[in-house]
Amino acid sequence: MELNRRTVIVGAAAAGMAATTLGGTAHATGGRKPVKTLFGKLADGTKVHSWSLENGGTRLKVLSYGGIVQSLEIPDRRGRYANVSAGFDNMEDYVAKSPYFGALIGRYGNRIGKGRFTLDGKAHQLSVNDGEQSLHGGAKGFDKRVWDVEPFVKGSDVGLYLYYTSVDGEMGYPGTLKTKVTYTLTKHGDWRIDYEATTDKATVVNLTSHVYWNLAGEGSGTIEDHELHIAASRYTPTDAGLIPTGELARVAGTPFDFRKAKPIGRDIRVSHPQLVTAKGFDHNWVLDKGITARPEHVATLRDPSSGRTLKIATNEPGLQFYSGNFLDGTLTGPSGRTYRQGDALCLETQHFPDSPNKPSFPSTVLRPGQTYRTTTIHTFGC
């Protein structure tokens, strides 16, 4: 019988069960004010701090640099904790090597073709940093900025407010964008992200989070045995540059059908043109629910070995599933183990890639007087 996570946490606490993976004891209490420590410094001397949060049995560490989730620890079915987020244990690697490990992404998550778009008749050329494409906001996107961080405790919730102002013209984007992102750990251990932004000129915005998940534990090896469900009947095929063609293709009868949960490795090596081009899964799923007023459940990830599960709810219309195709063994995590292809995966809630150049896709335009708002909730279980 599979127990729910709160039953495991409370039971482990009652029995005094030790969490052996990373030390400590599983427990359901929390709500204490986040703790700030110095993590490192940038080349110009700017200090980067780490904020440690704990609530409802979830432990989270966040950096002021890039809003990065440096670690996220949850218990397994036996109450043993593990960090389930890939990353580094030092500032230097985040600056020099990181493939967006754990980062806040902006101004535009995912790719914009040739780094160009036209808005209200005016052409804009963005920073190009992925072949001919602009990826995740350009060469110095939100993931490489130091955010202002303010901790909070509200009732049974604990969290962080993160603030960053992107000036007009930064990475080629029009308008000064004022961004606020709220990370909340609830009393149940859910991790909630609320994104907000306003602008003084018409612009495009698509914010997301780029955590690399391995529910068996960071550095534990392949995620191909993880079981994934995505509530999507269509996806957006891409060209050779991983830019959507504009087609909304049906998943039925293809490796992209995750409407019923299946192991990620089952179809990842099928000779499908889209898998060959991307070296695995690196595509946007068109969520059946569309854009919704409130977050709705859209995906479930489960690791059979540990029993850990991750459920994702969002009000966004898309989900990018990336199977860690470009991890090549050159990066080493806090565990001291290297990350190889398929050792972690991303599930990025979003509007569709290249939407500014695809009028048929849901719009990502933000205008003065409007407020960009979107929410994603991660619920952990075992």
Single-letter amino acid code for the residue at 223: I
Single-letter amino acid code for the residue at 194: D
107: cis peptide before it, omega within 30°? yes
Catalytic annotation, residues? 210, 348
Of residues 248, 311, 314, 312, the one with CA closest to residue 285: 248
**Which long-range contacts does 16-25 make (Cβ < 8 Å, 24+ apart)?**
17/78, 17/79, 19/75, 19/79, 19/80, 19/81, 20/80, 21/80, 21/81, 21/82, 21/217, 22/73, 22/81, 22/82, 22/83, 23/81, 24/81
Of residues 110, 137, 131, the one with CA closest to residue 352: 110
Q: How far apart are CA 197 and CA 200, in angstroms?
A: 11
Beta bridge partners of 82: 74
* Cα→Cα distances 222→214, 323, 337, Å: 8, 10, 12
Question: What 3-state class would DSSP assign to 343?
Answer: coil
Of residues 148, 137, 120, the one with CA closest to residue 62: 148
Question: How many CB atoms lie under 10 A from the CB of residue 59?
Answer: 21
Rg, C-alpha atoms of the chain: 20
Tokens representing 368 are 């003065």
Q: How far apart are CA 54 and CA 105, in angstroms?
A: 24
**Could you please report the per-residue DSSP string of 218-232?**
TTS---TTSEEEE-E
